[in-house]
């Protein structure tokens, strides 16, 4: 029996448990990521009952976490550029899928929160009373990040002022960013400037009365996302972006940088989706810093830079 033939909660949970164990113990190959991500998606039922809810969420989150972790990087490197993005996108979507499936069970008193130490995927599914702005995640008990999202009333009410309670899915991904790195951008002088994701990927969604994620855009008041961002001398030019699932690429449309300092970047965006912060990578600046602080020769420094540049170029050619 395979995932498509699984029938009933016990069969599905048994399969998910096997996937969770396998992805935790074994070194996967590229084909495994394709098959296992698809299997997890198939094993999430449309309806999940109270007794099984916690187990379904935990197994799905842990399986996604195990597949996305850096320890499986060789499996990801087996995949071509576009396929890596497709699999990463699918893994994030199954978090949304299982969250929607248990959303009928969520009340203000019964949220589901998975924020454990040493886990690269954090999830909260909550029902909240509506105010002008509501912050997520709503708990600091297991938080390992300073990332927060403040959602305006307009989004929480789904533009229906009669609604006084909202169901929210919050998710944050640490390791997933390495599989969704952006393409270089063209600089003002025509040269290609490499970029990287300098934050976690943070997702925020509102669930409607049909227990589906509602598409919300063109908000009058912004969604405010505060990211903890990398502080490295060779990173600059923060850009607030969102993940376009149709084109499988990052877009800045509808997002602006509100403020930025050595530790955090604040983004204002007019919709709800997956968000991140991109920054330019400047190798020459790294060389100057290393020469000054470590007494390296210019030749040694640029040898290292050229090696890194070749690796990045090779990565984008493998599409």
Half-sphere exposure of 69 (CA within 13 A, CB side): 19
Q: Which tokens go with 79?
A: 């995949």
The answer to whether the beta carbons of residues 15 and 63 sit under 8 Å apart is no
pLDDT at 289: 45
* pLDDT per residue as tens, the chain (319 positions): 466 656 678 889 999 999 999 999 999 999 999 999 999 999 999 989 999 999 999 999 999 999 999 999 999 999 999 999 999 999 999 999 999 999 999 999 999 988 877 789 999 999 999 999 999 987 654 455 579 999 999 999 987 777 889 999 999 999 999 999 999 988 888 888 999 999 999 999 999 999 999 999 999 999 999 999 988 888 889 999 999 999 999 999 999 999 999 999 999 999 999 999 999 998 754 444 444 444 445 455 555 545 544 444 444 445 5
Residue 259 DSSP code = E
Long-range contacts at 300-304 (CB < 8 A, ≥ 24 apart) = none
The pTM of the whole model exceeds 0.75: yes
Cα 263 from Cα 255, distance rounded (Å): 19
Cα 224 from Cα 14, distance rounded (Å): 40
- Mind listing the pLDDT tens digit for each residue in 110-167? 999 888 777 899 999 999 999 999 999 876 544 555 799 999 999 999 877 778 899 9
Beta-bridged to residue 274, according to DSSP, are: 203
pLDDT at 7: 67
The answer to whether the beta carbons of residues 271 and 223 sit under 8 Å apart is yes
Look at residue 76 and give its three-state secondary structure.
helix
How many helices (DSSP H) and strands (DSSP E) are in the chain?
8, 15
Produce one character per residue of 295-306: b if its CB has 16 or more CB atoms within 10 Å, e if not: ebeeeebeeebe
CA distances from 248 to 81, 180, 196, 244 (A): 11, 9, 16, 5
Residue for token pair 């030019």: 237
Cα 57 from Cα 114, distance rounded (Å): 8
Q: Which tokens go with 317?
A: 């050619």
Domains and CATH numbers, the chain: 1-105 (1.25.40), 107-281 (2.60.220.50), 284-315 (no CATH)
Q: What is the DSSP string of 141-189?
A: SS-----EEEEEHHHHTTT-TT--EEEEEEEEESGGGGGSPPPPEE-TT
pLDDT at 8: 75
- Mind listing the pLDDT tens digit for each residue in 130-144? 999 999 987 654 455
Q: Which tokens go with 154?
A: 């307009």
Cα 93 from Cα 272, distance rounded (Å): 14
Cα 94 from Cα 107, distance rounded (Å): 22
* Cα radius of gyration rounded to whole Å, the chain: 21
The answer to whether the beta carbons of residues 270 and 223 sit under 8 Å apart is yes
pLDDT at 195: 93
């Amino acid at each position: 029996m395979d995932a498509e033939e699984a029938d009933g909660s016990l069969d599905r949970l048994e399969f998910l448990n096997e996937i969770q164990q396998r992805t935790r113990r074994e070194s996967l190959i590229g084909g495994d990521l394709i098959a296992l991500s698809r299997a997890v998606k198939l094993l999430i039922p449309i309806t999940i009952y109270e007794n099984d809810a916690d187990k379904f969420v935990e197994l799905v989150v842990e399986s996604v976490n195990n597949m996305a972790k850096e320890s499986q990087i060789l499996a990801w490197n087996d995949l071509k550029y576009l396929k890596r993005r497709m699999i990463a996108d699918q893994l994030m979507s199954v978090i949304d899928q299982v969250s929607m499936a248990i959303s009928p069970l969520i009340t203000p008193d019964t949220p589901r929160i998975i924020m454990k130490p040493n886990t690269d995927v954090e999830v909260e599914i909550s029902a909240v009373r509506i105010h002008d702005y509501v912050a997520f995640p709503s708990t600091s008990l297991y938080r390992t990040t300073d990332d927060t999202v403040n959602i305006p009333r307009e989004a929480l009410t789904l533009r229906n002022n009669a609604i006084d309670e909202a169901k929210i899915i919050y998710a944050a991904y640490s390791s997933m960013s390495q599989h969704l790195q952006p393409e270089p951008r063209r600089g003002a002088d025509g040269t290609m400037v490499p970029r990287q994701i300098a934050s976690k990927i943070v997702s925020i969604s509102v669930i409607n009365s049909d227990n589906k994620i509602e598409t919300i855009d063109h908000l009058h008041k912004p969604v405010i996302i505060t990211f903890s961002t990398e502080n490295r001398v060779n990173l600059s030019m923060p850009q607030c972006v969102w993940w376009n699932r149709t084109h499988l690429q990052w877009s800045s449309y509808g997002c602006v940088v509100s403020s930025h300092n050595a530790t955090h970047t604040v983004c204002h965006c007019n919709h709800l989706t997956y968000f991140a912060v991109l920054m330019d990578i400047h190798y020459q600046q790294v060389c100057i810093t290393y020469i000054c602080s470590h007494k390296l020769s210019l030749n040694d420094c640029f040898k290292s830079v050229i090696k890194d540049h070749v690796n990045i170029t090779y990565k984008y050619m493998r599409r």
